[in-house]
Amino acid sequence: MQEDEPIGGDVNAVTKLAEDSRKQMRDEWSARLMSLGETRDKAVFAQLFSYFAPRVKAYIIRLGMPLATAEEVTQEAMLAVWRKAHMFNSDKAAASTWIFTLARNQCIDRMRREKAVEYELPEEEPDPDQRDNAEHAILAERMQIAIQQLPENQAQVLHLSYYEGKSHSEIAEQLGIPLGSVKSRLRLAFSKLKTYWGDEA
Amino acid sequence: MNISHHFDDATLMAYAAGTLPQGMALVVACHLHWCPECRHRVKQAEAVGGALLDNISPVAVSDSALDDILASLDEVPAAAQKQVKTSEPNQTELPDPLSTYLNKSLDDLPWKWIGYGMYQVDLNFGGKGAARLFKLAPGVSVPHHTHTGNELTLILRGSYSDEIGRFRRGDVADLDSDVLHQPIVDTGEDCICLIATDAPLKFTGIMGRLIQPFIGL
């Protein structure tokens, strides 16, 4: 990693954006995805595609896929959005989180020939203190702010893990630090992020 | 059924980010089917991915991408609502992802004797590391060992004790190179575990070095 190219630079840039409008946008995308599940309206799908496909493609490129493959896998991930939209539940996840998991699974499938491992989480039992949609959007918003406020070395391991698809050992090797330090940085980052979910506030 | 040993946050984050080798991802997926607490933490870890996706600088897709996909939508049926079952560890012996993969009960597997009261079945995943089922007879103690990478263990039947504590059905041991341990089967029942590693184990004693070639983890 080059010293003059701090990872997380684009995260910091986003801090400048008005937070209210981002939250509103996130609510709107979740509502659109819900309505796609109900109506299977192609015009709604086209809107979701225009917003998310370039983000999914950027994510897949960061994972190290060649450009042509990234374009293909993006199409596959967006097709999965169409096929599975009726399973999306905005009470349980933000649209971006749900689409992230679809894109991630599509990449895993592409990189491995076997598909033995079931990455999809089982359906939860109805939860009495289930957060409602509005609250979920607030939490997603806080999570985003929290990520931007992480110390540089924690943000860096988070990015290498989620965005470059590096295993903990690969991150340790790349940064020249022990495996234990990679894990403790991730743990620290996660515990800070969790306080924004109200778990350890 | 109380699960008392869970995964490290760092492991669940690697699972959420999709960076675990396949065998380790299987161990995590199996525990998740039994453990609501770890499921909750995985959802949080996935939300980190969602927030990152919100922040990413978009990369333009090809000009025809939208038209191409719109043209194909009519041929694509909606996915069937998949029944992904959660269960309590005491309801079915194997968690869903493992029983789907094995398609057999634990007692019908081709166990290979590897000496020392230990039997194994290699799950033969490609890629880094290994994933195996281990069966240890009562009273058997696995030689002292440490790990060059990470080792994830899910107890499927019976129990063992080591320097860290007692591990029963549903529990996981999430170990790395900082840990030196010697598990001992502590009841009259066989202990069966699913174990995945991302690098070879390092046995420390002479007995351990003798059996290393047979275990091959």
Q: Where are the domains of chain B?
A: 1-58+94-217
Chain B contact for A110, CB < 8 A? no
pLDDT at position A128: 44
Chain B contact for A145, CB < 8 A? no
Q: Model's pTM, two decimal places?
A: 0.83
**Inter-chain CB pairs, A–B, below 8 Å:** 225
Closest of B23, B31, B144 to residue B12, by C-alpha: B31
Q: How far apart are CA B47 and CA B10, in angstroms?
A: 15
Is B77 in Cβ contact with A100 (below 8 Å)? no
Residues in chain A with CB shorter than 8 Å from the CB of B60 are 54, 57
Cβ neighbors of A135 (< 8 A, separation 6 or more) are none
Higher pLDDT among residues A139 and B9, named by residue = B9
Q: How far apart are CA B27 and CA B15, in angstroms?
A: 10
Provide the mean pLDDT of chain B: 85
Mean pLDDT value across residues B176-204: 81
Closest of B39, B81, B16, B38 to residue A100, by C-alpha: B16
Six-digit token pair at B179? 């840990």
Residues in chain B with CB shorter than 8 Å from the CB of A58 are 56-59
Closest of B1, B59, B50 to residue A90, by C-alpha: B50
Q: The domain B1-58+94-217 belongs to what CATH superfamily?
A: Jelly Rolls (2.60.120.10)
Q: Which residues pair with A79 in a beta bridge?
A: none
Is A97 in Cβ contact with B47 (below 8 Å)? yes
Mean pLDDT value across residues B46-74: 92
Is A59 in Cβ contact with B56 (below 8 Å)? yes
Q: Grade residue B189 by pLDDT with cuts at 50, 70 and 90.
A: very high
- 3-state SS assignment for residue B50: helix
Six-digit token pair at A26? 């996130």
Q: How far apart are CA B111 and CA B108, in angstroms?
A: 8
Asked if B106 contacts B192 with a C-beta cutoff of 8 angstroms, the reply is: yes
Tell me which amino acid residue B88 is: E
Six-digit token pair at B127? 């890629």
* Closest CB from B14, B57, B178 relative to A161: B14
Give the angle B138-B143-B149 at the CA atoms, nearest 5°: 120
User: pLDDT tens, A25-83?
Assistant: 888 999 999 999 999 999 999 999 999 999 999 999 988 888 889 999 999 999 999 99
CA atoms within 13 A on the CB side of B47: 29
User: pLDDT tens, B84-103?
Assistant: 666 777 667 899 889 988 98
Q: How far apart are CA B130 and CA B146, in angstroms?
A: 16
Cβ neighbors of B164 (< 8 A, separation 6 or more) are B5, B173, B179, B181
* Closest CB from B49, B59, B97 relative to A118: B97
Give the CATH class of A12-117.
Answer: mainly alpha
Q: For chain A, which residues make up each domain, given as ranges? A: 12-117, 150-201
Query: The domain at A150-201 falls in which architecture?
Result: Orthogonal Bundle (1.10)
User: Is residue B188 classed exposed, middle or buried when 0-12, 13-18 and 19+ CB atoms within 10 A define those classes?
Assistant: exposed
Is A56 in Cβ contact with B18 (below 8 Å)? no
Q: Min CA distance, A5 vs chain B (Å)? A: 15
Chain B contact for A61, CB < 8 A? yes
pLDDT at position A201: 32
User: pLDDT tens, A118-149?
Assistant: 556 665 554 444 444 455 666 667 777 888 88
Is B176 in Cβ contact with A179 (below 8 Å)? yes
3-state helix, strand, coil in chain A (%, to 5): 70, 0, 30
Is B48 in Cβ contact with A158 (below 8 Å)? yes
- 3-state SS assignment for residue B202: strand
* Closest CB from B81, B86, B125 relative to A87: B81
- On the question of pLDDT at B150 being above 90, the answer is no
Handedness of CA B154, B158, B160, B164 (dihedral sign): positive
In terms of CA atoms, which chain B residue is nearest residue A93?
Answer: B47
pLDDT cut 90: percent of chain A above it: 49
User: pLDDT tens, B46-56?
Assistant: 989 998 898 88
- On the question of pLDDT at B154 being above 90, the answer is yes
- 3-state SS assignment for residue B5: coil
pLDDT at position A135: 57
Is A74 in Cβ contact with B65 (below 8 Å)? yes
DSSP label at residue B166: E
pLDDT at position B176: 79
Q: How many CB atoms lie within 10 A of CB B104?
A: 12
Q: Grade residue A117 by pLDDT with cuts at 50, 70 and 90.
A: low
Q: How far apart are CA B52 and CA A59, in angstroms?
A: 9
